[in-house]
Amino acid sequence: MSDDDNAEEVTLGRIETEVALLMRLGEATRRASGSAEHRVLDRAAYVILRHLDTAGPQNVSALAARLNLDGSTVTRQVSALQRDGLIARTPDPADGRGTVISPTPAGLQRMAAVQAARTRLYGDILADWTGDDRDTLAELLHRLNEALDARNRRR
């Protein structure tokens, strides 16, 4: 193995470790947050509402495909959201036999509260970072998420 190959292997190992820590510490930070705003939605509900807010009404199949989840998993999550009054089902305009899901005003309000709480939390955590460092982190995380999403879509 050449020195360049070895250096690349070391770098990829560091990335793997840092991503694993990021996921663990991110979840631990969310759970340990003193703010009730972080807990008004579980992670799955938050992700579903964020996607519906951005992409508009979707049927369960499209939602599951976009979130890389099994349809039955999304169906259970959507049922819980509907039971809590956070999403509504309406006839699918493209196919009257089906339904589409959209966030209710209550769902959007809860989602916005969680988003604001998380934004404040990351503002506190990154308070001593420069604006350029924050921008770089945001861009690199975006690129990583795009690469992960593209890989999952190829499968």
Q: Is the pLDDT reported for residue 155 higher than 90?
A: no
Contact 100/51 with Cβ under 8 angstroms? Answer: no
**What is the predicted pLDDT for the residue at 39?**
64
Q: Is the pLDDT reported for residue 80 higher than 70?
A: yes
Give the CA radius of gyration of the chain: 19
Percent of the chain residues topping a pLDDT of 90: 63
Residue 100's pLDDT band, with cuts at 50, 70 and 90, is very high
Contact 87/107 with Cβ under 8 angstroms? Answer: yes
The residue written with tokens 């099994």 in the block is 70
Compute the average pLDDT of residues 38-58.
Answer: 88
**What is the predicted pLDDT for the residue at 3?**
78
| 38-154: CATH class | mainly alpha
Contact 77/83 with Cβ under 8 angstroms? Answer: no
Residue 10's pLDDT band, with cuts at 50, 70 and 90, is very high
The whole-model pTM stands at: 0.82
- Residue 81 parent element (H or E): helix 71-83
**What is the predicted pLDDT for the residue at 93?**
85
Tokens of 39: 């807990």
Averaged pLDDT score across all residues of the chain: 89
Contact 49/103 with Cβ under 8 angstroms? Answer: yes
